[in-house]
Amino acid sequence: MNRAAAASPTLHAESPDGVLIAYRVHEEGDSDASLPPMLLVHGFASDSRVTWEGTGWVRALLDADRTVITVDLRGHGESDKPTDADSYTPERQGADLVAVLDSAGASRVDVVGYSMGNRVVSGLAELAPERVRRVVIGGAGPREWFATWDLDEARRVLLRGEPSSDPQLEQVLRPAIAAGADRQALMACIEGVRGAPLSIPGSTPTLFVAGEQDPVPEGVQELALEWDSDLVTIPGRDHVSTLTSRAFKDSAIAFLAAASASHD
């Protein structure tokens, strides 16, 4: 089907530290009530509209009869934007997701995370594993990407607008600045998430998805073997274009629609 998705109002959940987190619930009358809602968690310097609505994810999931919850992580989109690094630890941001689930009335969800969003999903899974049924980890691996960045270089770009000799910093930060992102909030996010582990409880079924030309999830093949999880590699795709891949969507939909197994 190729229906236009109706606009969903922006709601806000209050996290335990008082930060307001923007989210939206997308659903249609034929959503499959036998499956939990799907929670979509975007990456750094983006938001839910760009990552999930603009790439066709919400429409594809609605067409698959799923209810979808999209969230703007703190520091991004329409959520509050604190500027201290301690506000961005995966534990704090995992608590944000719990607050969103409580506000949306979702007792348990399937989750798709992308890039940095998977560190936040890890925070949710550690804090409230009973709220997570299955997880798709897209564009992420064992190495936390911010840990490879020079923080002084990042500060020069974000806070002083100076050029960097690091092409990765330029490719990620310059578009965010041009789009009007809160520079201090993004810098605090980098510092708060830097070095955070990818940690999903072993009892939670997990699928990895990575673009063939994406350097960010380096080491994901070995991690998938270690976790006894499947890995889908998307040919010819990099970190940005993997998101628009129909193969990514189809793999996630099939994995998350799986009938309950003994360990679900």
The residues with which 71 forms a beta bridge, in sequence order, are: 23, 41
Taking CA atoms, 109 is separated from 65, 102, 103, 129, in Å, by 15, 11, 13, 10
pLDDT of residue 261: 41
Of the pLDDT bands very low, low, confident and very high (cuts 50, 70, 90), residue 262 is very low
DSSP secondary structure string for all residues of 76-102: STTS----SGGGGSHHHHHHHHHHHHH
DSSP secondary structure string for all residues of 186-231: HHHHHHHHTT------TTS-EEEEEETT-STTTTHHHHHHHHT-EE
Q: Is the pLDDT of residue 244 over 60?
A: yes
For residue 151, tell me if it sits in a domain.
no
Write the pLDDT tens digit of every residue in 51-73.
999 999 999 999 999 999 999 99
Instruction: Tell me the C-alpha distance between 249 and 232, whole Å.
Output: 11
For residue 240, tell me if it sits in a domain.
yes
CB-based contact 224:135 (threshold 8 Å):
no
For residue 262, tell me if it sits in a domain.
no
Of the pLDDT bands very low, low, confident and very high (cuts 50, 70, 90), residue 31 is confident
Instruction: Tell me the C-alpha distance between 172 and 181, whole Å.
Output: 12
Q: Is the pLDDT of residue 237 over 80?
A: yes
For residue 160, tell me if it sits in a domain.
no
Number of other residues whose CB lies within 10 A of the CB of residue 246: 10
Mean pLDDT of 204-208: 97
Count structural domains, the chain. Answer: 1
Q: Judge residue 7's burial from the number of C-beta atoms within 10 Å of its C-beta, 0-12 exposed, 13-18 middle, 19 or more buried.
A: exposed
Write the pLDDT tens digit of every residue in 70-106.
999 999 999 999 999 999 999 999 999 999 999 999 9
CB-based contact 235:251 (threshold 8 Å):
no
For residue 234, tell me if it sits in a domain.
yes
Write the pLDDT tens digit of every residue in 149-205.
999 999 999 999 999 999 999 999 999 999 999 999 999 999 999 999 999 999 999
Of the candidates 28, 30, 21, 26, the residue with the CA atom closest to the CA atom of residue 9: 26
Of the pLDDT bands very low, low, confident and very high (cuts 50, 70, 90), residue 217 is very high
For residue 140, tell me if it sits in a domain.
yes
Q: Report the predicted TM-score, pTM, of the whole model to 2 decimal places.
A: 0.95
For residue 41, tell me if it sits in a domain.
yes
**Sign of the torsion angle spanned by Cα atoms 255, 260, 262, 264:** positive
For residue 175, tell me if it sits in a domain.
no
3-state SS assignment for residue 166: coil
Question: What domain range is 17 assigned to?
Answer: 11-144+198-256
CATH number at residue 213: 3.40.50.1820
Of the pLDDT bands very low, low, confident and very high (cuts 50, 70, 90), residue 258 is confident
Of the pLDDT bands very low, low, confident and very high (cuts 50, 70, 90), residue 30 is confident
